[in-house]
Structure 1
Amino acid sequence: MHPVLKGIRLVGFDLDGTLVDSVPDLTVAVDTVLSECNLPPQGENRVRDWVGNGSLMLVERALTRALGKTPQASLLESSHARFLEEYGQSPTARTCLYAGVRETLDALRERGYELVVITNKPHALIEPILSNFALSDHFGLCLGGDSLPQKKPDPAPLLYAARHFEVSPEACLMVGDSRHDIEAGRRAGFRTLAVPYGYNHGEPVSDSGPDAMVESLRELI
């Protein structure tokens, strides 16, 4: 067992960029919306750097880049609604689990850890992804970016999860790929663990100062 798990009872996981590589499906939805607006596609490399602050911000970043200016509120609203529709129709066609995820979640569940998904993705999109990979039963709670008034890097979702399972923050670990995960964990009083393979706006997640890093989640077990 990795030392970062010593004394830990609850493990919170980010979703996109930590458990699954969802950028291919997100890109298809983003570029479809842009095409319908007669705007140029942005492609996976750019979308990869835009993920992490929720779907509305993702669409806003794509529109801003394609337009060369901040989009009008009406365009952003309609484009975001269209994005959710398009992405919701096929959120797992190209999405895959990162190496080591399934065996790690299996092992942690067998050892009695409370497992939680804490993501900025809309809550309605979490279950289709987990179900596609037969992982729904691994998690006792799933929180999306719209589950509470606040989302990461605000610590509120993490603290909600700790209260839900009656676990003190000091006995909780937040696992993620971005500075938002590490900041939320630090502010909540959680221990933090980062993976370097996800999405962090083109910056090394190590710069955020996590308590520990692993190249693969397999290192936890």
Structure 2
Amino acid sequence: MHPLLDDIRLVAFDLDGTLVDSVPDLAAAVDAALVDLDLPPPGEAKVRDWVGNGSRVLMERALAEALGEPPSASRLEAAHERFLARYGQAPCVRTRLYPGAREALDGLASSGRRLVLVTNKPEAFILPILRAVGIEQCFALCLGGDSLPRRKPDPLPLTHAADRFDVAPSRCLMVGDSRHDIAAGKAAGFRTLAVPYGYNHGEPVAASRPDAIVESLAELV
């Protein structure tokens, strides 16, 4: 086991950009939603830099790009609804597990550690994706961006998970790919571990100063 896991009893994983590459399906839904609204689609490369703060912020960024200015609240609401509809039709066509993710989940679960999922993705999409990639059985708890009043980078989802399983924050680890994951983990009193291959708005995740970085999640086990 990775030395950062010493005394760790609960491991919280981010989803998008950490366990799965979901951008191809997210981008397809963003593009389709904007086309529905007679706006130019941004394409996958731009969407890759926009994900990580939940679907509403994703669509706010896409609309601002298409319109050349921040969208009105009503326009954002309409675009977000179109995105949810489009993404709900096909949330896991091209989404894939990253290499090493399954090995890490299986190894950690077999070690007796509690695994939870803490993502900013709307809760309704979590289980279909976990089922599609075959890891739904790995998690004792799954929290989406709309599961609680606040989401990452707020520490609430992490402190909620620690309280739920009666594990001290000092014995919990947050694993993610972005500054929001690391900020939430630090604020919750968790140890933090980052992967460098995910979605961090074009910035190196090392700048967030996680306790450790691994090139592959397989290095955890």
State the TM-score, normalizing by the size of structure 1.
0.99
Q: CA deviation at 1:174?
A: 0.1
Q: Name the counterpart of 2:211.
A: 211
Question: What are the within-5 Å matches in structure 2 for residues 1-221 of structure 1?
Answer: 1-221=1-221
The total of aligned residue pairs comes to 221
1:61 partner letter: R
Question: Does the residue aligned with 1:102 lie in a helix, a strand or coil?
Answer: helix
Question: Does the residue aligned with 2:115 lie in a helix, a strand or coil?
Answer: strand
Q: Distance in 1 between matches of 2:124 and 2:184?
A: 22
1:88 partner letter: G
Unaligned ranges ≥5, structure 2: none
Q: CA deviation at 1:197?
A: 0.2
Q: Distance in 1 between matches of 2:97 and 2:137?
A: 16
Q: Distance in 1 between matches of 2:151 and 2:45?
A: 25
Q: CA deviation at 1:89?
A: 1.1
Q: Distance in 1 between matches of 2:133 and 2:16?
A: 14
Unaligned ranges ≥5, structure 1: none
Which ranges of 4 or more aligned residues in structure 1 deviate by more than 3 Å? none
Q: CA deviation at 1:134?
A: 1.7
Question: Does the residue aligned with 1:153 lie in a helix, a strand or coil?
Answer: coil
Q: CA RMSD in A?
A: 0.6
Q: Distance in 2 between matches of 1:131 and 1:43?
A: 27
Q: CA deviation at 1:88?
A: 1.0
